[in-house]
Structure 1
Amino acid sequence: MAYAPADRDIYDADSHIMELPDFLKRYADPGLRDEIPEVSYSASIVTDEEVAVIMDQGGKHSDEHVAAQVALGDALIEKSKEIQALGAFNPGDRRTAMDLLGFRKQLVFATHSLRMPFSPSSKLESRLRYGATRAHNRHMIDFCAADDRLMGVAAIPLDDPELALKELDFVLASNLKAVWVPHRAPLDRSPGHVDFDPFWAKLAEAGVPFVLHVGGAPLQLAKAWMNNGRPPTKDWLGGGENLRTKDVAVLHEGPEQFLTMMILDGVLHRNPGLKGAAVELGAGWVPELLRRLDWVVKHWSRNDANLQGLHRTPSEQITQQLAFTPFVFEEVGNFIDQSNEDLYLFSSDYPHIEGGRNPIGRFEASLGERPASVRDKFYAENFLRIFPNARVDRKATVAA
């Protein structure tokens, strides 16, 4: 029996690979391998000892461990977490995990391998930034080729428009289904700069969405904001390298800025076929974003010629072209009431512990007495609006 109910189509907008140390090196161009870093778990709850044991076993879990994970059945999502999870890094095991999870499709993101590609440093050489990017994308292609339910997410930093477009050509020729871009200004430009027009237009033409995701910009606030003369605050896992109280309170600012620039610079207006999603960045900020941008455009278009050609309000553009994943602890039902039911996506975050032990149960509690049509949109239809090629014929699946 699978975790997801058999009578409901559920599309998962967030899951992850837990990369092994050589994730990038193995897939990098030979001339770059010595300069491409190993994937590090130093800022993670995963210990070096755990990783070492897996590497000593040839980069895989033991047969006994895999058997124990499979035996969890529909409790897999509750108890199978992080690098010890079934299918965390082995594509064959991930296929079994998908059988036990029961999701129709699942976006697959990296976890720790994008520090070099997404680095905000202007001093990083482009050959290394984009060489590590290509290695990531090659590995993601291979991992997701094992199961057509896995929708691999490519990574493309925008810092060099010409190289970003070149990498996009590579991605569009692959089986990857979305493009993760960092939600920060690409060094000295807005993401709506004219230099990026060919990039967004090509994505729109190909029907491949862009995605923003936690980790696409620095997680933590500048040290000055944390300096209040009191002992340092630990993160929610008890350490100091992940999200702390102040960090999570303003986590939305980065993606909100990025999407605001995309709208005010006219990117969504010029490319009505361009779709996108903000994933694992919360959704409580979305209703106010719609109200604020409509207000800004209404009043500032009197003086800003860039806004005078917009034929759809920002809230219409966002509703038609974007979607957002709430955290499992957020009240998505209230967000729907404050905005509309077309904006939000289910996500499990498998195998990260942030996704909770029973995300469906948590979201069901938040949706409360709202009708089945709202649930259909949250679990499936909104996902398929952003990823229209992901639709699965459930009757055919059941028959198979």
Structure 2
Amino acid sequence: MPDQRTAGAAMCERYAVADVDSHIIEPADLWTSRVPSKWGDLVPHVKFHERRQEDYWYIGDRKLYGVGAFAQAGWPEWPPSHPKRLADALPAAIDPKERLAYMDEVGVYYQVMYPNILGFHSHRFLNQMPRELATECVRAYNDWITEFCSADARRLVPMTMLPFWDIDESVAEMRRAHEMGHKGVLFAARYDKAGFPRLIDDYWEPVLSQAQEMGLSMNFHVGFLATDDELKGAVDQSKKIDFTKESALVLLGNAQNIAEVVLSGVCHRYPDLKFVSVENGAGWLPFLGESMDWQWLNVGAHKEYPERMLPSEYMRRQIYGMYWFERKSVRAVIDQLEDNLMFETDFPHATSLSPGPASESPSPREVMERSLGGLPEETIGKVLQHTATELYHLDPPERD
């Protein structure tokens, strides 16, 4: 319960709000300053694109995207317009001290940090450079995000990227990152799409068992391990109607990931391991649980696997979701999965809770009030703070 002196205050003042999905825009020298120069242009680097008059990320001669393509918060023009150079982006998108000041402004205490390049273009690292270099790039990123979050290690929360193409290196990197203060792992449920065994296969046992032992959650972020075709709808914003359709459908993408870990038996096999659906909304989670239960019983799977619980029971035990723009559907999630719901802003992406001249978004403060207003105080505390601080093992806020 909040302190009685603040019982009438805004939600973001009553609780240390955890924003469990935000992004940091990678600096141009992230990899060139940390990875040996012997790899040449295969190291991710930035150079000026003459025709587009914009700084672009490259791996070798393959163009990825503009440096500011994911930094649209506060930008004065509607998507697909975005900052052409990092210096044009909102300072809070690239500087840790500015980020902390911005968090204070919008009523957020903690922010969990996810990548952009490694998150949305992991297939490029896998397919367009030697595995040794790709692994070095992962380590360099994990070092850099640790340094970024050191501006306030209590409030800025790094998530680990793994060199998933190498199990031994993944296990070693998970240990190393955890020792540096990382609180969870960016992961995928469908590595078979990239030619690896399914998650239920013993191949993944060293990673999953270690994560369970260390209490690290496995976080499924939208767009992670997506192909270029799958990413097109999430990134190409030139046609407003098509983008609206594709981006809305992308936000249902983690349904496959959740169904995979629940129905394949991964949750049954690793009962203490937590899985998080990141930047996918939450309103679909209750429906997925009911749908899986219905099919599980109707096809007689409960007879074939009598030792297993219903799919929805695994979801309540091990699956977590988050929301940012939802309002009505949040109530349905709370009705069935109150202990599994968290809050996010997706800052500084175009879809984030970032009011501006070219954004219809309310402020995070307003969204909290309108989506959770009238609910029991215990529920509000879980959604905004306590579920996240327990899941990610976050240190309690410092008191004045």
Q: Tell me, yes or no, if structure 1 residue 94 matches structure 2 residue 95.
A: no
1:110 to 111, 115, 130: 115
What's 1:137 paired with?
A: 142
Query: C-alpha separation between the residues in 1 aligned to 2:206 and 2:285?
Result: 28
Structure 2 equivalent of residue 264 of structure 1: 263
The alpha-carbon deviation at position 115 of structure 1 amounts to 4.9
Query: How far is the alpha carbon of 1:341 from its aligned partner?
Result: 1.7
Secondary structure at the aligned position of 2:45 is classed as: coil
Tell whether the 8 Å contact from 1:219 to 1:242 is kept in structure 2 after alignment: no
**Distance in structure 1 (CA, Å) of the matches to 2:160 and 2:242:** 24
Deviation string 1:311-362 (CA, Å, 9 cap, x unpaired) is x332222222221112414534333266332221111222334222312312
Shift of 1:206: 0.6
Cα deviations across residues 346-386 of structure 1 (Å, max 9, x unaligned)? 11222334222312312422334322222112111221342
Corresponding residue for 1:276? 275
> 1:25, 1:33 within 8 Å by CA — same for their partners in 2?
no
1:192 aligns with 2:200: yes
Deviations 1:20-58 (A, max 9, x none): 22222223244445421226343555756433xx3xxxx
Taking the TM superposition and a 5 Å limit, the aligned residue runs for 1:170-209 are: 170-182=176-188, 184-186=190-192, 187-188=194-195, 189-209=197-217
Return 19-28 or 332-341, whichever deviates more.
Answer: 332-341
Question: Within 1, Cα distance between the matches of 2:34 and 2:365?
Answer: 36
**Aligned position for 1:59:** none
Question: What is the CA distance between 1:141 and its match in structure 2?
Answer: 1.2
| Equivalent of 1:373 in 371, 378, 384 | 378
2:339 paired residue number: 342
Question: SS at 1:340's partner residue?
Answer: helix
Report the Cα offset of residue 180 of structure 1. Answer: 0.6
1:151 corresponds to 2:149: no
* SS of corresponding position for 1:21: coil
Q: Does 1:26 align with 2:61?
A: no
Count of residue correspondences: 353
Q: In terms of mean alpha carbon deviation, does 147-156 or 234-243 score higher? A: 234-243
Task: Give the whole-Å Cα distance in 2 for the aligned partners of 1:97 and 1:241.
Answer: 29
User: Aligned with 1:12: secondary structure?
Assistant: strand
Q: Percent identity?
A: 23
Q: Secondary structure at the match of 1:164?
A: helix
Q: CA deviation at 1:197?
A: 1.3
TM-score by length of 1: 0.76
Name the counterpart of 2:288: 289
After superposition, the C-alpha distances for 1:134-167 in whole angstroms (9 at most, x for unaligned) are 2211111111112121111111253433332232
Structure 2: any 5+ residue segments left out of the alignment? 1-8, 47-56, 58-64, 71-79, 356-362
Range moving further from structure 2, 180-189 or 135-144: 180-189
Matches within 5 A, 1:289-328: 289-300=288-299, 302=301, 307-310=305-308, 312-328=309-325
**Equivalent-residue separation in structure 1 for 2:215 and 2:179 (angstroms):** 13
Paired residues of 1:25 and 1:135 also in contact (CA < 8 A): no
Alpha-carbon distance in structure 1 between the residues aligned to 2:199 and 2:241: 26
Q: 1:293 to 1:157 in 2, by over 3 A?
A: farther
Q: Residues 199, 241 of structure 1: CA spacing in aligned structure 2 closer, same or farther, 3 A cutoff?
A: farther
Contact 1:9–1:104 (8 Å) recurs in 2: yes
Normalising by structure 2, we get a TM-score of 0.76
Q: Which has the larger share of strand?
A: 2
Cα distance in 1, alignment partners of residues 163 and 297 from structure 2: 32
AA paired with 1:18? Answer: I
Match of 1:10 among 14, 17, 28: 17
Map Cα deviations across residues 218-246 of structure 1 (whole Å, 9 max, x no partner): 387569xx9xxxxxxx9899526998233
Distance 1:116 1:30, change over 3 A: farther
1:333 aligns with 2:330: yes
